[in-house]
């Protein structure tokens, strides 16, 4: 009878431990998902900010074209850098 009680206790402890481990895994998975989601949202905000700046620069370059060759080269270089930044490419 005592052996049966001990066996039942061991089984109960094992089930509780398994449930605890499962809950911990679900919590870690949820945390990981939340972190990935937050990172994706931060990246989206960065991309939108870059696109807004890029759109503004394009507007300025169209609205106020620069006549001097050096300044036109600077315009194209700034546009190039904006595009690279949008694409997350290292210069």
**Counted domains in the chain:** 1
d(CA 54, CA 60): 10
Query: Digits of tens for pLDDT over the chain (91 positions)?
Result: 778 788 888 998 899 899 999 999 999 999 999 999 999 999 888 888 888 887 887 777 777 766 655 556 666 666 677 666 666 644 4
Residue 75 in 3-state DSSP?
helix
d(CA 11, CA 51): 59
Whether the pTM exceeds 0.75: the reply is no
For residue 77, the enclosing domain spans 2-87
pLDDT at 91: 40
d(CA 31, CA 46): 23
pLDDT at 74: 61
């Amino acid at each position: 009878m005592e052996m049966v009680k001990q066996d039942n206790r061991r089984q109960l402890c094992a089930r509780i431990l398994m449930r605890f481990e499962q809950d911990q895994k679900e919590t870690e998975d949820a945390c990981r998902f939340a972190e990935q989601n937050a990172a994706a949202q931060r990246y989206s905000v960065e991309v939108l900010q870059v696109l807004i700046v890029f759109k503004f620069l394009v507007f300025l370059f169209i609205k106020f074209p620069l006549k001097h060759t050096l300044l036109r080269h600077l315009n194209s270089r700034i546009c190039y850098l904006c595009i690279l930044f949008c694409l997350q490419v290292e210069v």
